[in-house]
Amino acid sequence: MEEQTIELILLRHGQSTLNSKNLFCGWIDPPLTEIGIEQAKSAAREIKKHLISTSKPSVSFCSRLIRTKQTLLTILKELDELSNVNVQETSENVIIEKHKPLSFEKVSTNPSTAMGYNFYSSWRLNERHYGSWQGQNKKKVLNIVGDKEYMQVRRDYEGRPPDVNLDKEMEQKGEVEDKNLPGHDEYEFKEPNRYEKYKMEYQFGDVSLPISESLSDVLTRMTPLLEDFIIPEIINSENKIGMIIAHGSSIRAMLMKLMGLDANEIKGVNIPNGMPMIVKLSYEKGRHNKYNIKFIDRYYLDPELAAKKAEQVKNEGRN
């Protein structure tokens, strides 16, 4: 069979409220700032210029964290895909195979029809879990642990922060925030109660959610979704263009897999917010209905600005 090509549009979400405070975010679930929304709109304009022969990607994917969904919906609006966006949970279309996304969401101009633009969300595209560093100021953490350990955890393939204490650093079921309680200053920002937010994953997915992760861990949990679901969905889509809105670490892990980068090569890769990246792949169908994928090219739509912003990401906490 002759090789054919697909295109991935990869994008780290726009700036979140924790990004703006220079805090480790991880699985904490903050919304976008106004700057983040503008970054998403700007990204959409770049994508629109790039998509000369088509109006939109055929299919899109995001994580289970709200900052990626907000970014995706903002981009869809800006692309004029839909003028009135309505997100529906359609339980009859829930996918329960554990390597596939459990939330099948449809955006439609007519909520009663459940027709329209499809996008998928999965925890396997979530940001790396930053353990007990989540919600902490990056400069403060650097001053405590020192530059060597700080950069080893942030950029080494096997670097992993200390485990999160879910009793203290996760919202408890029915918890009402009280800023006067002892310890509030230490854990002002917490990840959502995972037994509520990821209830479907626990019920159907047979998953073990992390309490701390290295980039290696992210690659391990993301690869089945990428190989068994995302790539085939893009290959079988109308224009063979897919958009993935994810996070710095999950995009770095994705590039390792798609480009064949090793642990040393990925150290120098930093992913800025809101800068669209194009990845081109060729494919041919192999044995057992599997696809053989080959990397062709990778580039930012605005390479000069992306390089500048990537350098800022590299030095977060050091300035």
Q: Is 268 known to sit in a ligand binding site?
A: no
Question: DSSP 3-state assignment of 99?
Answer: coil
Q: Is 247 known to sit in a ligand binding site?
A: no
Q: How far apart are CA 244 and CA 37, in angstroms?
A: 17
At a CB cut-off of 8 Å and minimum separation 6, what does 29 contact?
65, 66, 67, 191, 192, 197
Q: In whole angstroms, how far apart are CA 34 and each of 37, 71, 262, 264?
A: 5, 11, 36, 35
Q: Is 64 known to sit in a ligand binding site?
A: no
Q: Is 159 known to sit in a ligand binding site?
A: no
DSSP state of 162: P
Q: Is 154 known to sit in a ligand binding site?
A: yes
Q: Is 258 known to sit in a ligand binding site?
A: no
Q: Is 128 known to sit in a ligand binding site?
A: yes
Q: How far apart are CA 56 and CA 304, in angstroms?
A: 24
Q: Is 157 known to sit in a ligand binding site?
A: no
Q: Which candidate in 7, 105, 127, 213 is catalytic? A: 127
Q: Is 15 known to sit in a ligand binding site?
A: yes
Q: How far apart are CA 241 and CA 279, in angstroms?
A: 10
Q: Which candidate in 7, 13, 169, 201 is catalytic? A: 13
Q: Is 45 known to sit in a ligand binding site?
A: no
Q: Is 298 known to sit in a ligand binding site?
A: no
13 belongs to the catalytic site: yes
Contact by Cβ (8 Å): 40, 275 = no
Q: Is 127 known to sit in a ligand binding site?
A: yes
Q: Is 19 known to sit in a ligand binding site?
A: yes
Contact by Cβ (8 Å): 40, 78 = yes
- Pick from 114, 125, 117: which is nearest to 79 by CA? 117
Q: In whole angstroms, how far apart are CA 290 and each of 189, 229, 240, 286?
A: 42, 11, 17, 5
Annotated binding site: 12-19, 67, 127-130, 138, 154-155
Annotated binding site for substrate: 12-19, 67, 127-130, 138, 154-155
Active site residues: 13, 127
